[in-house]
Structure 1
Amino acid sequence: MQFWVEVFLNNAAAWYLNYLLLSSVVFSAVLIVGRRGALSPVHENRMLRAAVMAVPLLATFRVASAHTHLDIPTGPQVASVAGPWGWTAIAVVMSSLVVGGGFVLGLVQRSYRERRRLKERRVVEGPLLRDLHGLVGHAPRRWPRITESPSIRAPVAIGAAEICVPRGISELIGRRGLRAVLIHELSHVERRDGFWTAAAYAFERLLLLQPLHRGIARRLRETGEFVADDRSVAACGSPEPLVQALVAFARVEGPGAGLSGFAPGSLLYRRVRRVLSRSSTTGSWVPLAATSYFLAVVALAWFTPSVAPACDCLLRFVRPLI
């Protein structure tokens, strides 16, 4: 038992330290490009998603490669989880994971409370459902379930197969506004924006030693909203229905559903200003340039200094099996 505990602690600490090194390079490069506005929202969102996936895989592959015969070139090994400082590093890493795990549980609990708050929602069926489908104007790959609830003030995508709207939404924003917000939320459902945003926030809380997670999670949410806004405006032919709906939702009293206020600098303020100004939605980089840039950043990150696990006992145990 002690053997496997030592194996786990050493490899977990090595993985976390490698993750910090790799993510610092990849996340910084992605955030810098996004801040300069070189990418369209859809391409920036894809790059952010790729970064969230690639960095854990790179860290895992880097630690796993230390337990094989494969001679895989990496960056210079600056440290090993061994010696007097090794157990200090393990203690710091494990403590941060325990604290981060508590934050993740809090995130899960908050999500559970939100679901309970929506338990009174009912499924929209019959002529009203056909009317809502007709408003969208096109058939998606799969129609999500549409529900309505009296406890929210703005539409919200729930999971990957449901859109919940406030009760009486058509009286509040009219048919044009309803079409705009349905297309907006349908974009969130089809692109699984909720999953990616939740994953980014979970990483931010669990791996709290990496402060760049906050920027990644924020940009994932922002670009997801921008992409959905662009799709809604393109389908409606004008930004006015979406803007009028957002303003109407912001004025409704009651518990929020993720919309911030109209204070300058807020996400809602920037969304409205962006669609009204018809700002560029294409960016100055073509997709090929964005993909090449991301691959170059990943290659550069791979050759950053590495931290090796210090489990010689595991090496002797695993290598004969490979």
Structure 2
Amino acid sequence: MSASLASSLLAWLLTYLIHSSVLLGVAWLVTRRRRLEPAASDLLWKVALLASLMTGTIQSRLELSTPASVALPVATLPQAALLNQPAAPASDAGNPGVRRAVRDAAGASVSRAPSLPLVVVLVWGAIALGWCLHYVARRLILFGRLADRRAVTDGPLAATLAELQRTAGYRRRVHLTMARTISSPVALGLSEICVPELALSDLGAEQQRSMLAHELAHLARRDSLWLAGASLMERCFFFQPLNRLARRELETTAEYLSDEWATRKTGSAVALAKCLATVAEWIQASPLGVPVAGLAERRSFLVSRISRLLEGRLPSSPASRRGWAVAAALGVAVTIAAAPRVSQSWSGP
């Protein structure tokens, strides 16, 4: 990797750190102070995560002049090296060939030493790759635990799922599977719902319907992809601690919104609350080890979800969500126009 490329990448990473701190910080402040409904909170966190990846690049492409911009030097080392070179004899000082030889020797000595941006970028890349591989390994372990799952193509569960799909107008094909190695239902990828074997014996028909509706909501919302993407961002940009907060907030809003969706489709919040209480008894201390879209993977806030269902709290209106979408778009525009960015500049001879 060349010093120029390393400097450009380092400048982008520093700009990302600034912009993501602004966007995610504002999302945190707004969601905490206003106590938004899950739909609005989910929207703000997703916009903040995605926009933080793009605002710096947009600024660079448009060559915007923003306040407090910082220029990252990339070619200052050769000058320092020239200062450390022995002076040419006075008799040769005016000889252009001698001066050129001194500069070439200085450049050669510097080129053998990696630049600071290159070292920083390589260290970041190694750590980010290690964290991402660790996440992938844990995902593979999860799928290894589910290797014995079997397809459920008939019976009451399959019939209930088909009826829910018809009612909800969900046209994509869904694979229903069952495994004895999990303690909570989970949505896998974009088209699979895997339920524990205990769901057949410990849940009544209405609770089974609520369980499947909740998991179908995760598929419809593509929560598995969002959580996987947020988890990879958390590890790739490990120097931004707000990414972890964003990922956990997305987990929370995904569960609340799936609860709402399931309640609307089944018409019974009580059945879903009873289902959650039963599933909570199945969960072990560390169920799956990676963030997944599941009915009760985070036991810590099950009580809050059950209380919310039993209290019958209504979700925010579509008009309210549109208002927050406009506010989020304006926030991104202001970030592009006014947030500081780091750029590279040549300052060599």
1:276 aligns with 2:310: yes
After superposition, the C-alpha distances for 1:273-301 in whole angstroms (9 at most, x for unaligned) are 22222234217982332123212221222
How far off its partner does 1:32 sit?
1.7
Which residue identity is paired with 1:292?
A: V
Question: Sequence identity, in percent?
Answer: 28
1:320 match: none
Please show how residues 152-171 of structure 1 align to structure 2 within 5 Å: 152-171=182-201
Task: Give the 3-state SS of the residue equivalent to 1:126 in structure 2.
Answer: coil
After superposition, the C-alpha distances for 1:226-257 in whole angstroms (9 at most, x for unaligned) are 10001112222232111111111111265725
After superposition, the C-alpha distances for 1:17-36 in whole angstroms (9 at most, x for unaligned) are 00011111111111222223
How far off its partner does 1:261 sit?
6.8
1:306 aligns with 2:341: yes
Please show how residues 130-169 of structure 1 align to structure 2 within 5 Å: 130-134=159-163, 138=167, 139-169=169-199
Return the alpha-carbon distance in structure 2 between the equivalents of residues 189 and 94 of structure 1: 37
2:141 match: 113
Give the one of 288, 303, 321 matched to 2:322. 288
TM-score of the aligned structures, taking structure 1 as reference length: 0.84
Residue 230 to residue 59, structure 1, CA distance change in 2 (3 Å): same
Return the alpha-carbon distance in structure 1 between the equivalents of residues 139 and 332 of structure 2: 33
Return the alpha-carbon distance in structure 2 between the equivalents of residues 165 and 55 of structure 1: 36
Which residue identity is paired with 1:172?
A: D
How far off its partner does 1:42 sit?
2.0
Return the alpha-carbon distance in structure 1 between the equivalents of residues 324 and 346 of structure 2: 39
Asked whether the 8 Å contact 2:71–2:345 carries over to 1, the reply is no
How far off its partner does 1:92 sit?
3.6
How far off its partner does 1:81 sit?
4.2
Asked whether the 8 Å contact 1:250–1:261 carries over to 2, the reply is no
Give the one of 75, 78, 83 matched to 2:70. 78
Task: Give the 3-state SS of the residue equivalent to 2:193 in structure 1.
Answer: strand
1:124 aligns with 2:140: no
1:245 match: 275
How far off its partner does 1:163 sit?
0.4
Asked whether the 8 Å contact 2:184–2:297 carries over to 1, the reply is no
Task: Give the 3-state SS of the residue equivalent to 1:286 in structure 2.
Answer: helix
Which residue identity is paired with 2:316?
A: T
1:194 aligns with 2:224: yes
Return the alpha-carbon distance in structure 2 between the equivalents of residues 198 and 32 of structure 1: 24
1:316 match: none
Asked whether the 8 Å contact 1:40–1:283 carries over to 2, the reply is no
Which residue identity is paired with 2:326?
A: S
Asked whether the 8 Å contact 2:45–2:246 carries over to 1, the reply is yes
1:256 aligns with 2:287: yes
How far off its partner does 1:148 sit?
0.7
Residue 87 to residue 306, structure 1, CA distance change in 2 (3 Å): farther
Task: Give the 3-state SS of the residue equivalent to 1:209 in structure 2.
Answer: coil
RMSD between superposed Cα atoms in Å: 2.6
Asked whether the 8 Å contact 1:18–1:59 carries over to 2, the reply is yes
TM-score of the aligned structures, taking structure 2 as reference length: 0.78
1:53 aligns with 2:50: yes
Asked whether the 8 Å contact 1:97–1:207 carries over to 2, the reply is no
Return the alpha-carbon distance in structure 1 between the equivalents of residues 267 and 71 of structure 2: 57
Asked whether the 8 Å contact 1:25–1:297 carries over to 2, the reply is no
Which residue identity is paired with 2:57?
A: T
Residue 253 to residue 155, structure 1, CA distance change in 2 (3 Å): closer
Asked whether the 8 Å contact 1:123–1:148 carries over to 2, the reply is yes
Residue 81 to residue 289, structure 1, CA distance change in 2 (3 Å): farther
After superposition, the C-alpha distances for 1:53-72 in whole angstroms (9 at most, x for unaligned) are 22111222334x2xxxx553
The aligned length equals: 301
1:8 match: 5
Give the one of 120, 129, 133 matched to 1:101. 129
Return the alpha-carbon distance in structure 1 between the equivalents of residues 347 and 193 of structure 2: 52
Which residue identity is paired with 1:77?
A: S
Asked whether the 8 Å contact 1:204–1:214 carries over to 2, the reply is yes
How far off its partner does 1:135 sit?
5.3
Residue 311 to residue 122, structure 1, CA distance change in 2 (3 Å): farther
Return the alpha-carbon distance in structure 2 between the equivalents of residues 185 and 260 of structure 1: 12
Range with greater deviation from structure 2 (134-143 or 241-250): 134-143
